[in-house]
């Protein structure tokens, strides 16, 4: 009997994939990391560098490693340390949230910097207009 998504042993997971040709195949994932299964409650800070403790670690590569785990390669921009590990879905989700928060912070800073730069350009333009330093030939 072939496993189906509804009926399968607890150590495997079946995923149906439709190929570009239209053919459907079933991929059976067997839990390859039983030692990690009991550690899902452990908090792993994937964003913290194991070498220098920088909180700026970011992912450079990732792929599924079973139904509930990911193999992720991370890099530290401060010490250039690169590491690869297998993490449960909850840990990867926490890492993703931290990355999203970092992106939000960067975008807020970018908007503030852009506004400050534009204000500076406008002030210089107005000063140049007031001093008659801008001529019709400049356009």
Q: What is the pLDDT of residue 29?
A: 59
- Residue in 50, 72, 53 with CA at minimum distance from that of residue 62: 72
Q: What local confidence, expressed as pLDDT, does residue 128 receive? A: 94
pLDDT of residue 27: 67
User: How far, in whole angstroms, is CA 91 from its chain's centroid?
Assistant: 12
- Write out the chain's pLDDT in tens, 139 residues: 343 444 444 555 666 777 777 777 776 655 554 444 444 445 689 999 999 999 999 999 999 998 899 999 999 999 999 999 999 999 999 999 999 999 999 999 999 999 999 999 999 999 999 999 988 888 8
CB atoms within 10 A of CB 91: 22
Largest separation between any pair of C-alpha atoms in the chain:
87
- For the chain, give every domain's residue range: 40-138
Instruction: Report how far residue 11's alpha carbon sits from residue 36's, in angstroms, rounded to the nearest whole number.
Output: 13
**Mean pLDDT score of the chain:** 82
Which ranges constitute the DSSP H helices of 1-139? 34-37, 89-130
Per-residue pLDDT of 104-133, as tens digits, reads 999 999 999 999 999 999 999 999 999 999
- As beta bridge partners, residue 25 has 17
Provide the pLDDT for residue 130. 92
């Amino acid at each position: 009997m072939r496993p189906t998504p509804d009926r399968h042993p607890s150590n495997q997971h079946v995923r149906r994939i439709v190929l570009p040709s239209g053919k459907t195949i079933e991929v059976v994932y067997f839990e390859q990391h039983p030692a990690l299964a009991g550690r899902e409650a452990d908090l792993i800070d994937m964003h913290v560098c194991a070498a220098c403790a920088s909180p700026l670690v970011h992912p450079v590569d990732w792929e599924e490693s079973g139904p509930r785990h990911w193999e992720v390669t991370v890099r530290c921009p401060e010490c250039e340390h690169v590491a690869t590990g297998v993490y449960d879905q909850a840990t990867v989700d926490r890492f993703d949230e931290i990355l999203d928060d970092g992106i939000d912070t960067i975008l807020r800073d970018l908007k503030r910097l852009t506004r400050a730069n534009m204000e500076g350009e406008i002030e210089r333009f107005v000063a140049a207009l007031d001093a008659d330093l801008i001529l019709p030939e400049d356009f």
